[in-house]
C-alpha cells in the first residue's frame, strides 16, 4: 500500500437503497482504499452481509464482513426489507458469517491501528452509536468519521425534512453528533441531502455506465431499485469519493443537533453554522468532477 492509502471501516445498510452497493464497488476498485472490514446495519443484517459478500467476491477480495445491529437504539427497525437480496441466487456469496460481535470487531480494528482508520458510515447510525457508547475512547482513536447523513443547509425545502438514515435511528444520530463524541474526533464530516441529491443518474444512464465487470452485480441490483423508482442518487458514493478528493465538495463548519418528532420528521438535523464548530457538512458539489472521480477508478 502507498503512503496515501486510506484505511477504512465501512458500515452499511446495503440492500435497501442501491447507492450502498455503488459505494462499495468504488471502494473495492479504488487503489488507494484499504478496506479493513465491513459491518452491516438495519433490518436483516445477515442478508445485507450476503450482498456485501457477493460484491467482494466479484472483485476477488477477501474482506471481513460482520453483521451488526438490526433494530434502532430505542425501537424496532424502520427498514425491515432488503429488496435487492433477490439477486443473490445469481452471484456467489458467503451465507454464514459467524457470531462475532460487530461492535467489538469495530473497536478492536480501530484500537489496533490508532489514528489511522476512517470510519465510513452510510446507513442508520446504530452500530456507530453503540460503538461510541460502549467504548467512549474510540472516537479519539479514529483518523476521522465520514458519514452519509442528514440535511443541513435547507432542511425544510422538501418534505419530509428528516434524511432517511437519520430517521431510521434518530437516537443513534443524536449520539453521533453529541458533544461527548464530537469533541474527541479529529474529523467529523457529513455528506447530506444538500449535496448528494445533486449527483444522480436515470436507469438508461446507469445501464450505459455500469458495464465494468465489478459493477455487474450492482447493475443487477439497480434493476430491482428501478422497478419502483426513476432516479439513482449517489448519496453514499459521494461520501466515499470525497475521502480521496474532498475538493469536489465545498464544506461549511458548524454544529448539528438531532431533533425528535412523532412522525416522518423524526431525526431532523438542525444546523447552526460556526467556523469553530465541531462538525463539517457539504454545502455544494461539482457533479461532473464527482462522476469523473467515481468512474475513473474503473477505467
At residue 156, the pLDDT reads 61
Q: What's residue 1's pLDDT?
A: 46
Q: Which long-range contacts (CB under 8 A, 24 or more apart) does 85-91 make?
A: 85/15, 85/44, 85/47, 85/48, 85/50, 85/51, 86/224, 87/51, 87/54, 87/217, 87/220, 87/221, 87/224, 88/47, 88/50, 88/51, 88/54, 90/217, 90/220, 91/54, 91/57, 91/58, 91/217, 91/220
Which single residue is written with the C-alpha cell 445485507?
48
* 247 close to 293: Cβ distance less than 8 angstroms: no
Cell representation of residue 175: 449520539
CA-CA distance, 161 to 173, in Å (whole number)? 15
pLDDT digits (tens, 9 = 90+) for 155-188: 665 556 899 999 999 999 999 999 999 989 999 9
- pLDDT higher than threshold 90 for residue 23: yes
Three cell numbers written together for 178: 453529541
Q: Which three cell numbers mark 213?
A: 465487470
Given this model, what pLDDT does residue 2 score? 53
Tell me the average pLDDT across 219-244.
Answer: 95
For 291, other C-beta atoms within 10 Å of its C-beta total: 18
Question: Rounded to the nearest 5°, which phi and psi values hold at 233?
Answer: -90, 130
pLDDT grade for 3, boundaries at 50, 70 and 90: low
- Which residues in 122-243 belong to E strands, given as ranges? 144-148, 188-191, 200-202, 231-233
pLDDT, tens digit, for every residue of 26-59? Answer: 999 999 999 999 999 999 999 999 999 999 999 9
Q: What is the pLDDT of residues 80-95, one digit of tens each?
A: 999 999 999 999 999 9
Distance between CA atoms of residues 98 and 67, nearest Å: 9
Arithmetic mean of pLDDT, 134-143: 97
Mean pLDDT for the chain overall: 95
The predicted model gives 228-240 an average pLDDT of 95
Instruction: Give me the domains of the chain, ranges plus CATH numbers.
Output: 6-296 (3.90.245.10)
Cβ–Cβ < 8 Å for 144, 186: yes
**Residue carrying the nine cell digits 465520514:** 146
Label residue 139 by pLDDT band (50, 70, 90): very high
Contact indicator for 266, 162 with CB cutoff of 8 Å: yes
The answer to whether 10 and 39 have CB atoms below 8 angstroms apart is yes
* The three cell numbers locating residue 25: 464497488
pLDDT bucket at 154, cuts 50 / 70 / 90: confident
The rounded percent of the chain whose pLDDT value lies above 90 is 94
Amino acid at each position: 500500500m502507498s503512503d496515501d492509502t486510506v484505511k477504512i471501516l465501512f458500515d452499511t445498510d446495503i440492500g435497501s437503497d442501491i447507492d450502498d452497493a455503488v459505494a462499495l464497488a468504488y471502494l473495492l476498485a479504488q487503489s488507494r482504499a484499504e478496506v479493513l472490514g465491513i459491518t452491516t446495519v438495519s433490518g436483516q443484517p445477515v442478508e445485507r452481509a450476503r450482498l456485501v459478500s457477493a460484491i467482494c467476491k466479484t472483485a476477488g477480495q477477501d474482506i471481513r464482513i460482520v453483521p451488526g445491529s438490526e433494530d434502532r437504539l430505542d425501537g424496532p427497525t424502520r427498514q425491515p426489507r432488503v429488496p435487492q437480496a433477490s439477486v443473490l441466487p445469481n452471484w456467489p456469496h458467503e451465507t454464514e458469517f459467524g457470531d462475532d460481535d460487530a461492535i467489538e470487531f469495530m473497536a478492536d480494528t480501530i484500537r489496533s491501528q490508532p489514528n489511522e482508520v476512517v470510519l465510513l458510515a452510510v446507513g442508520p447510525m446504530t452500530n456507530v452509536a453503540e460503538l461510541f457508547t460502549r467504548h467512549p475512547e474510540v472516537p479519539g482513536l479514529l483518523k476521522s468519521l465520514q458519514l452519509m447523513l442528514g440535511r443541513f443547509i435547507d432542511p425544510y425545502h422538501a418534505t419530509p425534512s428528516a434524511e432517511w438514515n437519520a430517521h431510521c435511528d434518530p437516537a443513534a444520530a443524536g449520539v453521533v453528533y453529541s458533544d461527548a463524541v464530537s469533541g474527541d474526533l479529529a474529523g467529523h464530516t457529513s455528506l447530506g441531502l444538500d449535496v448528494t441529491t445533486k449527483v444522480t443518474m436515470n436507469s438508461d444512464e446507469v445501464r450505459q455506465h455500469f458495464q465494468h465487470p465489478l459493477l455487474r452485480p450492482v447493475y443487477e441490483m439497480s434493476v430491482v431499485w428501478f422497478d419502483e423508482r426513476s432516479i439513482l442518487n449517489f448519496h453514499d458514493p459521494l461520501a466515499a469519493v470525497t475521502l480521496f478528493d474532498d475538493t469536489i465538495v465545498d464544506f461549511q463548519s458548524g454544529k448539528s443537533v438531532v431533533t425528535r418528532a412523532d412522525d416522518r420528521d423524526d431525526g431532523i438535523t438542525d444546523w447552526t453554522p460556526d467556523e469553530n464548530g465541531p462538525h463539517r457538512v457539504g454545502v455544494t458539489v461539482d457533479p461532473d468532477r464527482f462522476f469523473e472521480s467515481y468512474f475513473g477508478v474503473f477505467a
